[in-house]
Amino acid sequence: KPPIIVRDFAAALGLKPFKLISELNQQGGFASMNSTIEEAVAVAVAEKHNFILEIKHRGEPAEKKAAAQEEVDPEEEEKRNLQPRPPVVCILGHVDHGKTSLLDRIRSANVVSGEAGGITQHIGAYQVERSGRKITFLDTPGHAAFTKMRARGAHVTDVAVLVVAADDGFMPQTDEALKHAQEAGVALIVAINKIDVKGANIDQVKTQMQQRNIAAEDWGGETITVPVSALKGEGVDTLLEMILLQADMLELQANPKAEASGLIVESEIDFGRGPMATVIVQRGTLKVGDALVCGTHFARVRAMFDDQGRNIKEAPPSTPVRVIGWSGTPDSGATFRAVKNAREAENLAEEEQLRLRQVATRAAAAPKEVSVDQLF
């Protein structure tokens, strides 16, 4: 039967070793980190700390299994901390069908007038509020960013709004965007745009939807479909409502108490402020002072700005925020996460650089080996 060692036993009970040692010594012993503990003593100590000690007597390596009564199961803890989070939405569609106009319309309808520092900044994503609830929009030109992020396996969007011009119908890029959205498994909403234009034909677009197995709700299908005019603003409110409805159905949640992690939307070097990156927080709450690592780059968050250029200290899940304090410019679609401190972030980034260099060296060396093989 393997002995019960102070160091291990303290860890199993979640006690600081010195605390356990002092408890044991109070009972007249001379325990140290590596001392063994009598079984009876161990059972008594465990009991005192609300644990039941099970000792296996079968000669197999005995696990000092402290069946916890108060021990926190990390999974349970995670579940308990889940909170609803805003949906992250991207707008896809054929060129000139009105993606940019729609994003501009939604953004401008929500700018709080007269607010200090209320100058809208194009940071690659923005957030609007409707009925006290937030919606995050990816605001990157075309669906290039979406495709790039997806190529990296990044899942940032929850809902894709597919814009189809009512006077033009489905076009090659509409189908391509639809395919991307379906492959990414995101919820789909179709916005039939330009309903103000002469020659707009909503029914024709709905027929095309039916042909693609994404029939509109009012045509017996399941796809939420909203006729809009990005130019005149008609239907845009309904679209936002439908996005929130879709978000409710998806029951989007995240743990704001966790260490922050999320995705890079875009990055650039600002002349005055150095490298900065727009990120979307996916889990946890990003705070000024946090140490981040993202591939070969790291950051100590010096300052954060929202889409209206306001200085913010904390960014909960689904918030797009511009982060200053990076060592370089991380790629869009890359994942970042907060770590213990700046030193660890820097070390991890360096390890990644080293790893990539080794991969590169090996790749460079590989052809030589092949040519040697070929000699035989």
CB of 200 to ligand GDP, least distance (A): 9
- Which listed range, 2-10, 98-106, 144-152, 257-265, lies at the site for Mg ion (CB under 5 A)? 98-106
Which residue, 100 or 110, has its beta carbon nearer to Mg ion? 100
Q: Is residue 100 involved in binding Mg ion (CB under 5 A)?
A: yes
Other CB atoms within a 10 A radius of the CB of residue 121 amount to 15
Q: Which is nearer to Mg ion, 99 or 180 (CB)?
A: 99
* Given 197, 288, 303, 312, the residue binding ligand GDP (CB under 6 A): 197
Q: Does 246 bind ligand GDP (CB under 6 A)?
A: no
Q: Is 143 in the site for ligand GDP (CB under 6 A)?
A: no
The answer to whether 194 is annotated as binding is yes
Residue pair 235/202 in contact (Cβ under 8 Å)? The answer is no
Task: Give the chain's length.
Answer: 376
Instruction: Tell me whether residue 36 or residue 100 sits nearer to Mg ion (CB atom).
Output: 100
Alpha-carbon distances of 7 from 31, 74, 365, rounded to whole Å: 10, 23, 47
- The string of DSSP letters for 91-129 reads EEESTTSSHHHHHHHHHHHT--TT-TT------SEEEEE
Q: In this chain, which residue has its C-beta nearest to Mg ion?
A: 100
CB of 358 to Mg ion, least distance (A): 42
Which span sits near Mg ion by CB under 5 A: 55-63, 96-104, 105-113, 176-184? Answer: 96-104
Cα–Cα distance measured from residue 127 to residue 132, given in angstroms and rounded to the nearest whole number = 12
CA–CA distance, 321 with 192 (Å, rounded to integer): 30
Q: Which is nearer to ligand GDP, 198 or 340 (CB)?
A: 198
Interface with ligand GDP (CB under 6 A), residue from 162, 230, 243, 294 = 230
Helix (H, G, I), strand (E, B) or coil at 257: coil
Please tell me whether 195 is known to bind a ligand: yes
Question: Any residues with CB less than 8 A from the CB of 33 and at least 6 apart, and which?
Answer: 6, 7, 17, 21
Place of tokens 């070969």: 296
Question: Does residue number 95 form part of the binding site for ligand GDP (CB under 6 A)?
Answer: yes
Give the binding site for Mg ion (CB under 5 A): 99-100
Annotated binding site: which residue ranges?
A: 93-100, 139-143, 193-196
